[in-house]
Structure 1
Amino acid sequence: MTTPLKNGQISAPSALLGYQKEWIGIRAPLKVGEKSRRIGLTWAEAADNVLVAAAEKQAGGQTVYYLGYNQDMTVEYIQACAMWARAFNYAAGEIEEGIWPESDPDKHIKTYTITFPSGHRIVALTSRPSNLRGRQGVVVIDEAAFHQDLAELLKAALALLIWGGEVHVISTHDGTENAFNELINDIRAGKRKGELFRCTFGEAVTDGLYKRVCLRKGIPYTPEEEAKWVQGVYGFYGDAAEEELDCVPSQGGGAFLSLALIEQRTSKDVPVLRLKFPQGYETIAEHTRLAETLEWCENELLPLLQKLPLDAHSYYGHDFARSGDLSVIWPLLKDQNMRKRTPFLVELRNVPFKQQEQILFYIVDRLPNFQKGAPDARGNGSQLAESAAVRYGFNRIERVMLTEGWYRDNMPPFKAALEDGTFDEIPADRDVTGDIRAFRMVKGVARIPEKRTTEKGDGSKAGDKRHGDAGIAAALADYASRQETEIFEYHRVQPASQADREIQLGAGWRSQKGIW
C-alpha cells in the first residue's frame, strides 16, 4: 500500500514483493521454483525476461523462449512482458503473432513475439521439445508439471546450457510421480545441478500478497479482511489446497524406499549391539552404573573399534530417546573411494542419560579421523547433543532439529546414496531394515509416521516398540557425511633441554644489555 510521508509526498510500494525479488535474484544455469498458485511468480519472471531480452549481447542479453502448456497462459505471459517493457521505458516492437512451422501441418503452433532493438526477442509458445532444437538463450518452462512430456522437454532445454543459456522451471505440483517433483528431488539429492526456490501461499501472504491485492482493487487493508480472504482461498481449493497452495505433491502415501533397494545394501557382517537396562536402573548408585557400562563398552565395543581402518574418515548419526523408543548410534566410515559403510550399530533401550553419554563418548573417542556427528537435538536430545558439541567442537557436531524442512532437503540425498551404492553395508537385521523401510511419503515429504512398530519377540511374546529409530539414525549419519568439516590441528613443540633454556635465557639477558 502507498504510504504518506511527512512532506506530503507519496511513497510508492516496490513493484515486486520479497519472494518475487528472491526468485529473480537467483542466477543459475538451471533454477526450479515450486510454488503456490496465483502468487505472481510468472509475472515477476516476465519482468526479468524483459531486462534480459532488452540488454545488448555484451551486457548478457539473450533471446527468451517461454513455454506454457496452453495458449491462454501464453497470451497472459506475453502481455505481462509488454507491460514491463512499457514500465521500463524500453523501446520494443508490438506483440507479433506468428506460426511456428512443424512437419505436420496440423500441428503448427501459434507464437507471440516481442522484438527489442538489442536484436533479442521474447518468444512465447506452447510446449514441444522439438521447438528448442538448435535454439540459444533463456528457456522458461511455466507450470512444468502439466506439460505433456516434461522429461523430453527438459532434455531439449538443458542442451541450451552448453552455450551459456539458462533454464527456468516454474510450477505448482501435480503428484509425487510427476517429472517436476522428480526433478526437484534429483536436485536435492545432488543427482542434478540446479538451484531450488519454494514459496507457499502462506509465505506469499506474509510477504504482502493480500496487500498487493488491496492496492490493485483500491480497497483498504485490514488484518481481519486478510484472514477472511485467506480462508476463502483455502476453502475454494478444498481438499486440493495442500497441493495447489502449500507445495505438497499429492498421491504420496507409499513407502519411500523399496525393500529390494534396502536388502541390496545389507551385510551379515555388520553387528548390531543392543543394550537394555531394567526399569529403575537409574536409581542405582552412579559409580556402579559407570563401572557396569564401561565393562559393557570394553567387552562389546572395544574389539569392534580396534578393527576400524586408521585411514578412513568417520561420522555418526544419533537418534535419541530415553524411554519408550530406542536411542540408536549409527557410526559411518568413508573410505578413500568415497564409499560410506557401517562398521556396527548400537541400540540402547531404557539407558539413563549419563550412560548414553558415556557410551557415545567411548565410541567417538575411538573413531578414526572423526569428522562430523549429527545428533537429534529435539527435546531431551538437546542436552546430549550439546555435551557432544562441547567435547568435540561445535564445528564438528551438527545439532539437528528434525523438521519437515530437514526431511524434505535431506531424504532425497539419502535415497540417492542407497541407490548408487555410496551408502552401503546396512546391518542384515529385520528390525533395522524395518526401521529404514518405515519412511513414508507424508504430505509429499519422506518421514517416519506416528504409528509405531513392534520388535520381533520370542514365540508369541510381543517385543518392544520401535519408531523408525534406526532409519532416522542412518539418515542423520548420511547427513553428517555430506557436511563440510573444519578441523583445527596443532603440532606439539618438543620441550627444550635445560642447556638450551639457559642459552636462550642468556641470549635474552645479553640482548637486553646490548651485548651480542
Structure 2
Amino acid sequence: MGIPAPLADTERLVDWDELPKHIREMPADFNPLAVGVLMAHQSQWITMQQDLDIAVCEKGRRTGITFAQALTDTITAASAKDANGDNVWYMADTREKGLEFIGYVGKFAQIVARGQATMIEQHIFVDQLEDGTSRNIQAFRVRFASGFRVTALSSRPENIHGLQGLVNIDEAALHKNVTHVLESATALLIWGGRIRIWSSHRGKKNPFNQFVQDVRAGRYGKRAKVIKISFDDAVANGLFERVCFMRGTKPTEASKREWYEAIRSAYGPRKAAMREELDVIPRDGDGSAIPSVWLDQSMPEVRPVLRIVFNDDFPKRPESERETWCATWIATTLLPVLEEAAEGFDGRWAVGMDFARHRHFSVIKPARITQDLRRDVAFLIELANAPTRQQEQILWALLENLKNWTFAGDASGPGQTLMEYTGDKFGRAVWDEELGCYTGGPVHEVTLSRAWYGLWMGKYISLFEDGFITLPRDASLEDDHRAVEFIDGIPMVPKIERKDLKDAELIRHGDGAVAGALMNFAALNHVGGYVYEYHRVQPAAQHDREIQLGAGWRSQKGIW
C-alpha cells in the first residue's frame, strides 16, 4: 500500500440548504443573457484590469475567465493605437490550451473585426534559449487590420523576453517553471507592459499562491491587485442557467441542486481537492505531480487490465479450492495475455508490485524495456481482497513465465512476507558497496518511505514528462496517477482515499502509481542475465473450474 503522506484535513460536502439564497434560487423567467455575453464576475475581472499593471485572478475551475479574457483581448487587438489597441501574448501550460484560446479569439474576431482579421494561422516564433542562442518554434496567432495581433506561445519563460504589449498567463500554477514565468513577466513592466495572470491553485507552497499573497500584501505596489472568483460565485451569477441555455434545457431549482451536488460529490473523499478547485482554498500539498496532458499522452490505447475482485467469502474457502481456481485463471486468462505481450520481444522486463490485503488494490505492473529504454506496460494485474497465498500464486506464475526480468515489490507492512518469500524463491538483490550496484538475484524487497519516494517517484514522473512510458488506457489507473502530489516537495500519495471508478464499493490509494514507481526502480536496478525459461501452466480439470466459478469472486479482463 505504500507509506501515506500526512492526512489532510477533511470536512463534509457543502450543504445545499445552507447556501445563501442568491446561489440557490432563480427568479421567474430568468434570462441568463440579460446582462450581456459575460457573467458579472467575468465583467468584474475585465473591468479591474483598466488601471492596473498586474491583475491577478485566483479562481475556481470552469468559471469562464479564459473565455472573458479572449473577448476583451480581441477588442484590444482590433482597436487602433489611439484607441488603446495593443499586441496580446498568451501563455498557457499546454499547447492545447493555447489553441483553445486562439480559437475563442478567432470566433470573436468574426464579430468584432468584421472581416478585418486573419484566420487562425501558425507561424514561426524565435525562442530565446538560456545560453543566448535561439530556436524556431511554432506559435498560433490572429492578426488584425489595426496592425496588432493576438499570439499564443509556449510556456517557456524566455518567450516573454523582449516582448511588448499585454501578457496573459493562464493556469500559472500549472506551468513547469512557475517562478521564472512570473519573474520574466514582471520584467515587462519596465517598458510599459501589463500582465494578467489567472489560475486555480495547486497547493499553498506553489509559487502562484505565494505570488498572490505578495500582491495582496502590497509588495508589488498599488497598481497590482488580486480578485478571487469561486465556483459558487459563478453559480450565483448564472453559470447553471447558461449551461442549460447552451444545452437547450429548462433550468429549475431542483435540477440546479442536482447539478451542483453532483459536481461537489464527484470529488468523493478528496475534500481538500474540492475546496481548492471549487472554493479557491489552496491545500497543504503542492497539487498533482503529473499533469493531465502527460497522462493522456502515456495512454495511447486500450490494453488488458486483468482484474479480480474477491468477496469476503473467498479467503475462507479451503486452500486447495483457492489454488485450483487461481491455477485455472492463470492458465485461461493471465498466460494468454502474457504470451501475446511477449511475442516477438527478446528484451528485458521490469515488474513492480504495490501490495495490499484489505481495502486497497494490489497492483502488478510488468513493463517491457524497449531498445530505446522506454517502459511499455502491455497489461496490468489488479487484485482486490485477494488472500496473500493467491497473490503469491499469481505473482510467481507471472515471473516464472517471463524471460530476463527484474522485480521490485513493496515490502512495507503486510507486503513484507510475500516479498520475503519471493526473494527466497527467485533470489534477492543485494547492494554491493564496493561495486556500487545491486548483485545477486532479481528480486528487490523495497521498504517504502518518504526518502524512497523523494528519490524514486520523481524518476518515475520524469518518464511521463519525457514521453518514455506507455500505459493501458484505464480510468482507474489514470486516477491513481492523479493522486500523486508534492507533499513538502516530495512526490507521493497523500492519505486521501478515492472510490474506485469501476466499483464504488472499493477504495484506491494511488496503487497503480506506486506500482509504477517500483517498476521503474526495477528497470533502473536490473540484475543482469537472470532468465526463467518460458513454460505453460496446465489448466485445472474442467469440472474443477466449473465448481470454482460460483459465487464469491468476480473476474474482469481489461477493456476499460
TM-score for both structures, normalised by structure 2: 0.42
Higher gyration radius (CA): 1
- Structure scoring higher RCO (CA < 8 A, sep ≥ 6) equals 2
TM-score for both structures, normalised by structure 1: 0.46
